[in-house]
Amino acid sequence: MRVIQLLIPASFLFFYSVCSFAQRAPSPTDTTYIMALLRKAEAVEMQQPQKALQDYQRAFSFAQKIDYTKGYFESIRLITYLLDVLGRHDESHKLANEGLQKALRDTNQQYRSTCYFALAQSAKWQGKNKEAIGYFKQAAPFMLAHPNRRKAAVLYQNLGLIYETEKLYPQALTYFNRALTNDRLAKSSPQDISLDYQSMATVYVKQNRLPLAMTYYKKALPLLDSTRDIVFLINVYGNQANLHKELTHIDSSLYYYQKALRLNHSANNPLQELHLLAGLAETYNEMKQYEQAKTLLNQAHVLAKQHKVGLSEFRNIYRELANANLGLHNYKAAIPWYDKYMQTKDSLSTLEAKALLEEYELKLRQAEASQKLAGKQRQIDRLEQDRQRQNLWILIAALAGVVVVSGLVFAYLYARQRQLTAHNALLAAESAHALAIVQSQLQGQQSERLRIAKEMHDDLGASLTAIGLLSEVVKTRMGTSTTSEVEKISTISADMITTMNEIIWSLNTKNDSLNGLIAYIRAYASEFIDNTDLHLLTQVNESPQEITIRGIDRRNVFLTVKEALHNVVKHAHATHVSLTIRPENARLFIEVSDDGQGFVPSERTRLRNGLGNMQHRMSESGGTCEIESSPGGTWVKITFPYPLVPADKILQT
């Protein structure tokens, strides 16, 4: 963000130095003017930040001139906050430090707390979390002891943000809950309580606890005013749209994206509109409404170029434009967008690596400084221990024999107690560490599955799509003698994409539900049979409960049904095929039947491997697969028992 440097005229400094010895006492009119100017600027600081900053600085200069202490420190509080918002952290830190030097000469604890809090905010904005925590500790005594609990809530809110940045999510949630409790005690504004809920929802998103995050966004929404809090409403609606998209609630995602866009038109925030357009377009791509997606992406691309956004925004737009053109079978248009996407991805990876290295170097320097400080402290401790030891020996030499014996006994008991205490503390630390490792491994399994699925979709999927695109282009340029080979390449790449999508579906933990499995089988059967001359009859019931199914079991059930449908198409010579899915009594019943000619002995021998694989897959998941054949058709009956336990009690594999 471009910022304007604050320049204080030299003439003003000279005038102030000459007149500082003859300042008059502030009059009521002067102080009223300063406070009114601050309140006026505070009301527009988000809409007109530069104008607000100028008014803050005018009030600050006037408060200095008339020696109005309250106005001086209130100006510092507001100026430092706005400078940090504008990215001018060095100026903010310098001003807060100057104010602190003056506050340390004053008896009012509130002014010292204000300056320490401003220094902490500046350090937090710059990512210096360790330094920020030190300043927050200095500001905390006054803020926590103040009768207005809103001050304590603000302190806890900032500490929660620091722990969130450090990815210490349980501690972040603890401080956000404390902020919420104090806001309720202080009867803070609905907007403040709404921000507490939004902070907790953000942490739950980072923990991949999406349903819980949705609950807290819903709590935050009714607390916002539709006219005063438009910016906050847009953020909440956008976050809800993203969450619904992750949860595959497409209709709800569209609703909240469109609502956020309508509100943003009145707020006139182009960068927010860019993100909303890109998210809405991605949703339309998933719905296969590619024309609508392409229109929105073109608008987003124009905004991105106008406002010179980062590479990550361009990367998302390029990827979705390639997908939209691919869906419209416009392969020539899709290839340039795909090339831009790959180039941007490589550039973004380089920038991310550079940022990580810089962050590592900063933390390394901080660690080295901490080690040096700890080494000096250890030297001081050793000197202190030596001095105490000398004094002890002098005292022992002066005492009689009984005192010496008593001292030795006491020293032995004390050392023994220290050993026992240290041993117990070590055991407790080892137990806590082992528990943390187990929890981390469980979370790591799910994160790894999501990572593999995402990388297959983004990298391998993009490469396979490129092969398919290139083969389509080659077919238009080659002669008839090579068309059949190119057609084989196109067919094989399409089959590989289908197989890869099935693997991604089985890996993604968001699909680990019984109803998700039922919906996926029904969708696959409809799409597969639609490409044949068969007529499909479906009778599908969903489970009234949300049941979690392991990824390996979902894949086994799906592949068994898929094999049964393929056998009908290839071998049955049928005209109708029926698919029945019915969950009941902790079992999933699936039946695939046709009106074909059934199996003859020669065919049964030829199909033995496929039928054996079906039965083996269901046996591996604890189910069964029964096959009955007659001249009037074939019936495949699949039974799969599923566990009736909550989702968080099942180990995902």
CA 22/CA 18 separation, integer angstroms: 8
- Decide: helix, strand or coil at residue 580: strand
CA 555/CA 386 separation, integer angstroms: 69
Angle subtended by helix axes 10-19 and 49-66, to nearest 10: 30
What phi and psi values does residue 162 have, to the nearest 5 degrees?
Answer: -65, -45
Number of H helices, E strands in the chain: 24, 5
624-630 and 587-594 strand pairing = unpaired
CA 241/CA 275 separation, integer angstroms: 12
Q: What is the DSSP string of 430-454?
A: HHHHHHHHHHHHHHHHHHHHHHHHH
CA 133/CA 162 separation, integer angstroms: 8
Q: What is the pLDDT of residues 600-641, one digit of tens each?
A: 655 555 556 778 889 999 999 999 999 998 888 999 999 999
CA 241/CA 235 separation, integer angstroms: 10
Give the model's pLDDT for residue 353: 45
The DSSP H or E segment spanning 638 is: strand 633-641
End-to-end CA distance of the chain: 45
Cβ atoms of 469 and 329 within 8 Å: the answer is no
Single-letter amino acid, residue 200: M
Q: Which domains does the chain have, with CATH numbers?
A: 512-649 (3.30.565.10)
Cβ atoms of 328 and 302 within 8 Å: the answer is no
Alpha helices in 20-88 (DSSP H): 28-43, 49-66, 69-85
**Ranges of the chain whose pLDDT falls below 50:** 1-25, 353, 356-357, 360, 364, 646-653
Q: What is the pLDDT of residues 102-142, one digit of tens each?
A: 888 887 888 888 899 989 888 888 878 888 888 888 888 88
CA 201/CA 209 separation, integer angstroms: 9
Give the tokens for residue 90: 């060095």
- Decide: helix, strand or coil at residue 624: strand
Cβ atoms of 237 and 259 within 8 Å: the answer is yes
624-630 and 535-540 strand pairing = unpaired
Give the tokens for residue 129: 């979390």
CA distance to 340, 419, 458, per residue, from 303 (Å): 17, 67, 25
Instruction: Give the residue carrying structure tokens 């699909």.
Output: 511
Give the model's pLDDT for residue 12: 32
Give the model's pLDDT for residue 180: 92
Give the model's pLDDT for residue 640: 94
Give the model's pLDDT for residue 22: 35
CA 501/CA 507 separation, integer angstroms: 10
